[in-house]
C-alpha cells in the first residue's frame, strides 16, 4: 500500500475518481431538491442520485398511503407484475421514526416467505436494500435499490444511502407541508365561517375574509388589536376563562355566545377554539372558528312558537268540542238528534279550521275571500240550530290572500274565547261584528252580548300574546271589558289591504 510522507494511506486514483463522482452526484441532488417545485421533480432527482451513487439501474420510492400501507410512487427497472406481487410489503410502520436501513446481500438466504423470495428472484433481483425515509415526526416511506447478483454492501454505501435518504425525507416533508399549508390557506380564505387567530395575550394575529363578512372589520383594522374588540360588555368575563382553558391545552367545541360587530349590532355565534402550538409543541395562541347562528336561533324560536300555538289550538279544540256537546244537549230531544247535531257542528268547525290552516299546511298561498264571508265561515260552528249566533254589519271588502291566514287566526281566537268564556258560551248569547271603512284604516269591532259579565284576569296567557303578535302584523288591537260583554277593536292599516 502506498503511503504519503505524513504516514497516511494514499488515496488511489480510482477511489479519488469515485469520491469526486459521489460529491458531484450529491451536490447535483441537493441543487435539484432546492429547485424542485413538485414532488414529481423531487422523486426524479432522487432516483437519479440513488442510481448514480449506489451503482444500480433499478430503484424505487414508496410512501405510506392514508391507510398506513406502503405503496410504490415512482420506480425504475421494475415490472408491473413484480410491483403488484410485493405491493404493501414493508418492514416498518409510520411510528418507526428511528428505523434502521436493511441491506440484503442475497435474498435466497433469508427467512422471508417463500412466495416473496420467488417473486423477487423471478424479477432477476438477488440483492436489495431498504432505506427508511424519516420526517420530523414519523416515517414517511422508504427507497429501495436492487441488484442482479448477490452483493456485499460496504459501510461507505450505507453512509451514502443514508445521506440521500435524509435529504429526500426532508424534501418530501417540505413539499407535503407546503401543499398542506396551501390547502389549509385556501380553506381558510374560502370559508364562510369566521376564522381568527390570537396570541395568549388575546391579541388578534390573523383574520380571514369570513371574519370580515361576519364582524365588519377589515383585516388591517384588527391585526394586533385585542379580541375584546368583539366582546360585549356583559360578556367580558368569558375571554379570561377561555384563555385559561387554552393554556391548559383544552379544545372548546361549539360554545354559543354573543359578539359585537363593527356597527355595534350583536350577533349570535357558535365558537370552536383550539390551541396553536409551535414546533416544540408549546402553546403559543389559539385559533377560533365563529359561525353565525342567528338564523338557527330564529328558526328555533319560531319552532317553539309554533309548538306552543299547536298546543294552544289543540286545547281550544277540546274546549270547543265540549262546548258544542253541552250546547247541543240542551235542545236535543233524543240521543240520535244529539249525535246528529254534534256531528254537523263539528263538521262545520272542521271546515272553518280548514279555511285557516289547510293551504298553509300544504305549502300553498291562502285563497282570497271577502271579509264578511271569512267572518261568517269562522262563526258558522256556533249556530243554534237555524238561528245564527252572529250579526255582521257594515262595509265588506276583499281580503288579500296574504292576509287571510293572519286575519283568520285572530277571528278564530276571538270566537274560541267567546265560546269558552263569553257570549257564545250561553244559549242566547250573540256576537255583533261591525266593519267600518276609514280613510287610512279599516276597523272591525267585535261586540259580545248576552253572555256572562267578562272579567279581566290581569295576566297575559299564550292566547293573548298570540293575538297581540298576530295583530301587530295587521295594525293594532284593543279590548274593553264592558259589563254587557267584551268589546274588541281590530284596526287594520289601509296599506296592508293593498288598497
Mean pLDDT of the chain: 82
Supply the pLDDT for residue 458.
Answer: 57
pLDDT for position 404: 76
Contact of 261 with 216, CB cutoff 8 Å: yes
Asked if 372 contacts 312 with a C-beta cutoff of 8 angstroms, the reply is no
| Residues of the chain where predicted confidence (pLDDT) is lower than 70 | 1-11, 177-188, 190, 279, 309-310, 312-324, 326-328, 330-332, 341-342, 344-368, 405, 456-466, 469-470, 498-499
Task: Give yes or no for a contact between 103 and 126, defined as CB atoms under 8 angstroms apart.
Answer: no
Q: Considering only CA atoms, which of 297, 301, 304, 312 is closest in space to residue 466?
A: 312
Distance separating alpha carbons of residues 338 and 137, to the nearest angstrom: 86
Which among 244, 300, 232, 298 is positioned nearest to 275, based on CA atoms? 244
**Under a CB-based contact definition with an 8 Å cutoff, are residues 395 and 436 in contact?**
yes
State the pLDDT at residue 427: 84
CA distances to 199, 211, 241, 242, 250 from 245, rounded to whole Å, are 14, 23, 6, 5, 5
- Classify each residue of 443-468 as buried b or exposed e, where b means 16 or more C-beta atoms within 10 Å of its C-beta: bbbbbbbbbeebeeeeeeeebeebbe
User: What number of other Cβ atoms are within 10 A of residue 311's Cβ?
Assistant: 11
CA angle 400, 404, 407 (to 5 degrees): 115
Q: What is the dihedral of CA 320, 325, 328, 332, to 10 degrees?
A: 170
Residue 61, number of CB atoms within 10 A of its CB: 23
**CA–CA separation, 140 and 95 (whole Å):** 9
**Per-residue confidence (pLDDT) for residue 48, from 0 to 100:** 94
Three-class DSSP category at 348? helix
Q: Are 94 and 139 in contact (CB under 8 A)?
A: yes
Render pLDDT for 12-50 as a digit per residue (tens, 0 to 9): 777 777 778 888 888 888 888 888 888 899 999 999 999
The grid coordinates of residue 163 equal 445521506
List 70's β-bridge partners, or say none: 64
Q: What was the pLDDT predicted at 348?
A: 55
**Cα-based distances in Å from 229 to 102, 129, 226, 259:** 59, 60, 6, 9
Burial of 304 (0-12, 13-18, 19+ CB in 10 A): exposed
DSSP conformation class of 203: B
Q: Which helix (H) or strand (E) element contains residue 419?
A: helix 401-420
DSSP state of 176: H
Burial class, 422, CB count within 10 angstroms (exposed 0-12 / middle 13-18 / buried 19+): buried
Amino acid at each position: 500500500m502506498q503511503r504519503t510522507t505524513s504516514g497516511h494511506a494514499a488515496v488511489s486514483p480510482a477511489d479519488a475518481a469515485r469520491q469526486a463522482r459521489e460529491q458531484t452526484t450529491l451536490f447535483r441532488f441537493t441543487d435539484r431538491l432546492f429547485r424542485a417545485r413538485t414532488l414529481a421533480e423531487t422523486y426524479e432527482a432522487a432516483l437519479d442520485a440513488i442510481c448514480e451513487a449506489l451503482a444500480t439501474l433499478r430503484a424505487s420510492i414508496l410512501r405510506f398511503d392514508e391507510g398506513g400501507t406502503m405503496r410504490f410512487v415512482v420506480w425504475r427497472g421494475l415490472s408491473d407484475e413484480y410491483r403488484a406481487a410485493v405491493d404493501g410489503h414493508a418492514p416498518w410502520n409510520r411510528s418507526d421514526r428511528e428505523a434502521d436501513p436493511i441491506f440484503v446481500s442475497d435474498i435466497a438466504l433469508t427467512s422471508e416467505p417463500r412466495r416473496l423470495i420467488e417473486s423477487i428472484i423471478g424479477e432477476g433481483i438477488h440483492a436489495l436494500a431498504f432505506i427508511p425515509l424519516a420526517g420530523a415526526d414519523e416515517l414517511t416511506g422508504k427507497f429501495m435499490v436492487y441488484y442482479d447478483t448477490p452483493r456485499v454492501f460496504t459501510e461507505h454505501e450505507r453512509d451514502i444511502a443514508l445521506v440521500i435518504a435524509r435529504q429526500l425525507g426532508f424534501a418530501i416533508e417540505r413539499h407535503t407541508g407546503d401543499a398542506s399549508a396551501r390547502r389549509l390557506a385556501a380553506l381558510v380564505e374560502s370559508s364562510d365561517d369566521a376564522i381568527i387567530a390570537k396570541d395568549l395575550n388575546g391579541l388578534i394575529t390573523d383574520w380571514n375574509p369570513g371574519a370580515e363578512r361576519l364582524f365588519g372589520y377589515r383585516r388591517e383594522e384588527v391585526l394586533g388589536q385585542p379580541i375584546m374588540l368583539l366582546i360585549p360588555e356583559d360578556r367580558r368575563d368569558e375571554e379570561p376563562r377561555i384563555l385559561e382553558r387554552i393554556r391548559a391545552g383544552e379544545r372548546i367545541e361549539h360554545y354559543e355566545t354573543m359578539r359585537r360587530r363593527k356597527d355595534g349590532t350583536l350577533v349570535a355565534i357558535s365558537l370552536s377554539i383550539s390551541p396553536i402550538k409551535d414546533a416544540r409543541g408549546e402553546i403559543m395562541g389559539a385559533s377560533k372558528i365563529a359561525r353565525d347562528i342567528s338564523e338557527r336561533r330564529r328558526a328555533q324560536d319560531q319552532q317553539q312558537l309554533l309548538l306552543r300555538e299547536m298546543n294552544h289550538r289543540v286545547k281550544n279544540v277540546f274546549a270547543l268540542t265540549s262546548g258544542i256537546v253541552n250546547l247541543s244537549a240542551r235542545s236535543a230531544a233524543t240521543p240520535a238528534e244529539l249525535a246528529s247535531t254534534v256531528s254537523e257542528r263539528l263538521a262545520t268547525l272542521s271546515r272553518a279550521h280548514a279555511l285557516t290552516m289547510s293551504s298553509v299546511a300544504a305549502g300553498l298561498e291562502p285563497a282570497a275571500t271577502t271579509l264578511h264571508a271569512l267572518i261568517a265561515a269562522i262563526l258558522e260552528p256556533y249556530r243554534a240550530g237555524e238561528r245564527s249566533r252572529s250579526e255582521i254589519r257594515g262595509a265588506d271588502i276583499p281580503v288579500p290572500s296574504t292576509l287571510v291566514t293572519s286575519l283568520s287566526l285572530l277571528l278564530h281566537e276571538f270566537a274560541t274565547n267567546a265560546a269558552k268564556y263569553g257570549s257564545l258560551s250561553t244559549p242566547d248569547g250573540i256576537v255583533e261584528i261591525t266593519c267600518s271603512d276609514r280613510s287610512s284604516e279599516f276597523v272591525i269591532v267585535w261586540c259580545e252580548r248576552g253572555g256572562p259579565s267578562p272579567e279581566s284576569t290581569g295576566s297575559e296567557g299564550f292566547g293573548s300574546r298570540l293575538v297581540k303578535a298576530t295583530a301587530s302584523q295587521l295594525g293594532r288591537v284593543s279590548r274593553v271589558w264592558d259589563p254587557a260583554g267584551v268589546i274588541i277593536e281590530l284596526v287594520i292599516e289601509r296599506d296592508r289591504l293593498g288598497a
